[in-house]
Structure formats: C-alpha cells, structure tokens
Structure 1
C-alpha cells in the first residue's frame, strides 16, 4: 500500500486513510448549518409578518428565541461532527460520551421545569396564541396580557390583580381579541308578557344600536333576535346578539342591557300565596 512506503506518523496515516469519510462528515455538517440558518431566517420572517407592528416587543422576542435556537443547533451540529471525526480516527469517545451524558442528565433533572416552560413559550409564540394587550383566559385566569416571556405569561385581571403563570402550566387559551367577538344578551320576561311585542321592542333596540354614533362603528352585522331561548320556572328567555369588533362586545352588551331594562318588564322570582276560604 502507498502509505506503508511513506514514513508518516501513525496519526497522519490514519487521517489520510479516512480522509474522504472525514471530508464527507464536514461537508454534511456545513450543509446542516446552512439549512439551519435558512430555516431560522425563514421562520423569523414569517412570524414577524404576522405581527403588524414593526420593532415591537414580540419582534424582539422572536429574534431572541431564534438566536437561542440557532446557537443551540450550531453547538449540536458541531459537537456531533466532532464526535464522528474522533470516531473515524479511532479515538475512544466512550468515556467522553459517558461524562457528557451524566452532566446532561444532571442538568436535565435540575432544569426540567424551566425547560418545559421555555419550550411551551416557544410554541405559544410560534403559534401566535396571544399577544400583549389582548383579552384572554389562560391557566384559569382571565384578564389582559401585560407581559410575555419564554418562561411565563403575566395577566392583569379586570380587578387589577396581576397573575404570573408559568408557560408550562398553560393547557388551554381563550382569546377574546381575535377577528371578531359577539355581544349576547339574554332577556328574562314574565310569562304574562306578550312575546311578539317584546321581540318587536328588541328589534327597535337593535335599530337604535345601529344608529348609535359611538357603538355603530364597532358592529360587524345587524343585531339578531332569536326568539324564545328557554322556558324557565319563572321566566321566558329571549336573546339578542350582534357580532362586533374584538373587545367591543362588552360596551355593546352594556348598552343593550340598559335599553332592555328601560323598555321591557323583566321577570324576577315571585312567591304566590293562595288563601283557601
């Protein structure tokens, strides 16, 4: 063999024999790094396009997330390539892998909760579940998103209480600030009430709502009266609803309740005593 006739050090001879394999490992690692950079740039651009405000807090968080992702991927790819090269030249990496595994296990057990929170935070941001300023219910707490990080979400309740919820504890999210909302008001009437006349009154209230200068711009369609929704023990329930811009349903509901109270006789629990003579 050619290398047996050349007085090369054993290590150099070993490198020469496995040169093509090592070169292939390095090429694959290089391509993996290029692919990682391309994917992260594409995802960052896509997520920023979903955010209408340039330079917002969410944009900065996106940059931070993908900087961490890119750096982590870089370390994983380079470390994997290095181990494969060492294996190719005959270095026993078993003890090294054992040490790395022990350290990784210790760090994993110690940071298990933190990792769960951070991973959940990444998915919350990637799926755009909520943004700062939106009215939501997360982790059983309702309010407005005041702050969001990879580790936790901060919700300001309507009474002013501030809740900090670890992202890993969030199982379901209700968002009232996306696309459209619906103002729904149920009207409980006495059984003696003329229902068709009451429905006409509700239609008048709906028309008045559409002519209200402050609230009309928040409406996305005409108010709808559905008729009798329920027959209770002491009331007949009618319903009026209208689709509104996100977050505007509360003001519309207050207006509807106020007008209903002024124009209709509402039901209330009553006790009747019959005297038998």
Structure 2
C-alpha cells in the first residue's frame, strides 16, 4: 500500500494544483514513480485540452448569440430612428451596420473568453497567477496610455454605427468638405469629394458631421428682383414657376411638398431677394435649384420683371448696369445705351479718366 506521504511527494499535494488522481492510481498499482509522473503530466494535458475545447465551443455559442442579439437591436434602433426604409440601399446599409456591431461584440467577448481560458491553462500547469496578473496589469496601464487615441476612435466608431449618423453611399459634410462615403470602419471612415479626392478621417476627430442624404432636403433659392419691379407680381411669378415644377411629370416625384414663399430675405440699394423654399428628396435639391434658376429667368423675361443692377466701383466712379438711359421693348427685355452710364458720361470718358489717374497720355479724338 502506497503511503499518502509518498503519493504526495510524487504526484503533488492533494490540495495543490498539480495533484491528479491518475498519477496516484498508477503509483499505487505499479509502484513506478517515473510512470506515475508521466501519467500525471498526461492528465494535465487532458485538462488543458478540455479547457481549450470548452473555450472554443463557448466562442461558437457566443457568436451565434451575438448575431441574434445584433439583429434584434438593429430592428429596435431602426424603428426608433424611423430612417431606414425598405429599399435596396437601406437593406445593404442595415446589413453593414449589423456586421459592424456584431463584429465588435464578438471580438470583445472572444477576448474575455480566451483570456479566461489562458489563465485557467496557466493555473493547470502549476504556475502562480499572482506575478502574471501583476505584470499584465502594469502592461495594460502602459498600453492604455499609449492607445488612448485608438480607443477613442473605436468608441466613436461604435457610437456612430449604433446612432446611424452616416453610412456607405451617404453624402456628408465634415470640416467644410462634402463627399460620398465609401467606407465606414470602427477606427476611421473614408469619403470622396466632388474633385475625386479620397479623405480618410479618424472617427475620434469628427466633432460634427452633416448628412445630406437622410430623410429629406430643401431647395432654397433667393430670387433677385429689381427695386422698381412690382413685388407682388414678382412673388406670384416665383410661386407659379415653383408650383409648375412641383407638378412636372419629370421633376414632381422628387419634390415632396408644395413650394413656400418665405418673403423678402434681403433688401438693399442693389435690389431685393425673395426666398423660395421647395422641400425635396435627399440630394436632388441641387438639381431642383438649377432647374428653378433656368425657369425663373425665362418667366421673368416673359413677364418683364427686371433683375437688380450690379454696382461696380471703378476708382471712386460708381457705375451701374442697367443704366438710367435704358429702354424696355414690348417683350419686356432690357436694353441699355452702350454709350451712356447712370452717371451721365460715356465709357470713353471713364477710360480717359482712368488714364489720367495712372499718368498716361490721353489722345484727343
């Protein structure tokens, strides 16, 4: 009969980490200490294998659970925000957000699972955990100071994805630059501006971002009108042009509500500006504004409504176009006398005066 003291010396203390029943059984049956130690090491390897297999299985279960949880969370967020509609673009966007959020959760939980498994393996092999944990804590502090910006970028990326601030295919404005989002990551995002330049921006540095592609947009047009024009008639023409565009079979589907005349936006010696507002679908407001400008010019010409003059200051001589000696034909088109200005002298007189100021010789006619 093998004594308990002898078994403890060969296989380890019964209360210690290195003790195992197989070593004691082999020692008791064979009395061979070397074989007992080998069998004891084999038992340790079996324990390590069990820990690793358990960690792997738990990781698989967690991956499936995270995927289901992310789908439920995505549905709740989409319903609360009310922005993700049932279209191909938004389905792709939902899928991208789902993958990003699920990836973050899977990565975080995988780190916890495998770190726990590593500590268990170290304990199974009989190494003390206290020095390892102390060293890991110190290393974590050092890495924490060095990776503050990285952590900040990743946290900002997670918040951006959860709040649906922007996604691939959106037009955004960041620090005065407008571009199309081509990539959204946890650490950084990329967008390409209208000149084709690809900008890479760290998520942690984005303090304010404007999204031009969400929900709706607004075509805002400040229509210039001359001071001597009939303001009420001009406002009626402006509204009629906008209303005609809203009912157009081509442009109408992009306009989501009736036009609004907000009134006089600016008033000055050069004329007034009447603000016209037309709510549109996202990213079509620029095209709608261009179409409004074109149609407004044609309508003003047809109704004889004049645009304000552009005042030009040439070395103290103030000139204006259109000028006082202008005429208006029956079609309402504006015609100016090419040899006269609003100050009563011809362009040749202005040219001579400028030459005198420069010291050039003025030749008589």
TM range (shorter): 0.7 to 0.9
| Aligned mate of 2:74, from 47, 52, 61 | 47
Partner of 1:71: 107
Distance change in 2, residues 1:268/1:144 (3 Å): farther
Alignment of 1:1-277 (within 5 A): 12-13=14-15, 38=65, 41-47=68-74, 50=84, 53=88, 56=92, 59-60=95-96, 62-76=98-112, 79=115, 93-262=129-298, 263=300, 264-270=305-311, 271=318
TM-score normalized by the length of structure 2: 0.58
Ranges in structure 2 where 5+ consecutive residues have no aligned partner: 1-6, 18-58, 79-83, 312-317, 320-341, 345-365
Partner of 1:28: none
Paired positions, count: 254
SS at match of 1:240: strand
SS at match of 2:310: coil
Larger radius of gyration, structure 1 or 2?
2
- Partners of 2:70 and 2:98 within 8 A in 1: no
SS at match of 1:160: coil
- Partners of 1:183 and 1:243 within 8 A in 2: yes
Distance change in 2, residues 1:98/1:140 (3 Å): farther
Deviates more, 1:239-248 or 1:114-123: 114-123
Deviates more, 1:244-253 or 1:254-263: 254-263
Distance change in 2, residues 1:132/1:82 (3 Å): closer
SS at match of 2:294: helix
Distance change in 2, residues 1:165/1:82 (3 Å): closer
Q: What root-mean-square deviation, in Å, do the aligned CA atoms of Structure 1 and Structure 2 show?
A: 3.7
Structure 2: distance between partners of 1:149 and 1:216: 37
TM-score normalized by the length of structure 1: 0.75
- Partners of 2:187 and 2:203 within 8 A in 1: yes
Distance change in 2, residues 1:163/1:82 (3 Å): closer
SS at match of 1:191: coil
More RCO (CA 8 Å, sep 6+): 1
